[in-house]
Amino acid sequence: MTTPGIRPLVAGNWKMNGSLGMAGTLIGDLKARLGQGALPVDLLVCPPFPYLGAVAAALGGSAISLGAQDCHAANSGAHTGDVAAPMLADLGCGYVILGHSERRTDHGESSATVAAKAKAALAAGLTAIVCVGETEAQRNAGEELKVVEKQIVESVPAEANAGNTVIAYEPVWAIGTGKTPTSADVEAMHRHIRALLKQRVTGGAEIRILYGGSVKPGNAAELMAVAEVNGALVGGASLKAEDFWGIAEGAARSAG
């Protein structure tokens, strides 16, 4: 077990992919697999906003949790196209992904913005999955630890604790590229994040730290066995039940 006492979380970030048909088939397949035998792992799916209601209905009373991919920092107001955290909770979401590198890059989100969103999510009773990670240029310059530390300091609100916050480390250069850092690199970063959380956050020793960045069934067990890796934030592989389940099985093996 990579961190004693912490149950792994395998979260699927569908990004801007899918359809109603695909969502129903995928959830049905995952539920069927769960029916054949539960894993010692928490499962989470995060579909695009338009499919949240349908996926919530499909999940029914299953053990799979529902999450969203973003929220606004305000609970209501003149914010056309945005979605508030209480709305997500009203739909049955338990989690929300915040500060993903694609949001930071495509929408210019700062860590201060991420922190404000996380604070709103926590107030709405959601668990915030706060994403951090360095670019390839920053890693090549030897700045990866400093970059991620700054993101954590500025993105994680004071209200965070082990019960309402998850950290997802996603090296930006590994997302969707097929590249992955070495196990030693992943361990060094996750140990650094753990040390920061212990210093700054209530219950920092118990907060789940996920790894994301080209996680596949073939490398999941190795990555999930790394010290202080408590699960995965999965992108493309979460769109196929067989692949997502294979990653969950890899996490289960690492959990002992």
Task: Render pLDDT for 97-150 as a digit per residue (tens, 0 to 9).
Answer: 999 999 999 999 999 999 999 999 999 999 999 999 999 999 999 999 999 999
Q: Which domain holds residue 48?
A: 9-254
Angstrom distance (rounded) from CA 132 to CA 208: 13
Residue 34 pLDDT greater than 60, yes or no? yes
Helix axes 111-123, 144-155, angle to 10 degrees: 40
Give me the CATH number covering residue 148. Answer: 3.20.20.70
In this predicted structure, what is the pLDDT of residue 1?
A: 46
Residue 2 pLDDT greater than 80, yes or no? no
Q: Pull the structure tokens for residue 246.
A: 């294979």
Closest C-alpha among 30, 103, 40 to residue 72: 103
Whether 160 contacts 128, CB under 8 Å:
yes
In this predicted structure, what is the pLDDT of residue 213?
A: 87
- Give the chain's domain count: 1
Residue 78 pLDDT greater than 80, yes or no? yes
Number of residues that make up the chain: 256
Whether 168 contacts 233, CB under 8 Å:
yes
Residue 68 pLDDT greater than 80, yes or no? yes
Report the pLDDT averaged over residues 205-225: 95
Residue 4 counted as domain residue: no
Task: Render pLDDT for 146-190 as a digit per residue (tens, 0 to 9).
Answer: 999 999 999 999 999 999 999 999 999 888 888 878 999 999 999
Q: Pull the structure tokens for residue 48.
A: 């695009």
Q: Band of the pLDDT at 4, cuts 50, 70, 90?
A: confident
In this predicted structure, what is the pLDDT of residue 256?
A: 62
Report the mean per-residue pLDDT for the chain.
95
Tally Cβ neighbours within 10 Å of residue 20.
12
Amino acid in the structure at residue 76: S
Residue 105 counted as domain residue: yes
Residue 164 counted as domain residue: yes
Residues with a catalytic annotation lie at 100, 170
Residue 20 pLDDT greater than 90, yes or no? yes
Farthest CA pair distance, the chain? 49
What is the tally of helices (H) and strands (E) in the chain? 10, 8
Residue 1 counted as domain residue: no
* Dihedral angle over CA of 114, 158, 170, 85, nearest 10: -50
In this predicted structure, what is the pLDDT of residue 222?
A: 94
Closest C-alpha among 180, 255, 164 to residue 216: 180
Residue 43 pLDDT greater than 90, yes or no? yes
Report the pLDDT averaged over residues 18-37: 96
Q: Band of the pLDDT at 46, cuts 50, 70, 90?
A: very high
In this predicted structure, what is the pLDDT of residue 40?
A: 95
pTM of this prediction?
A: 0.97
Residue 87 counted as domain residue: yes
Region of poorest pLDDT, from 32-36, 40-44, 124-128, 230-234: 32-36
Residue 33 counted as domain residue: yes
Angstrom distance (rounded) from CA 107 to CA 104: 6
N- to C-terminal Cα separation, the chain:
6
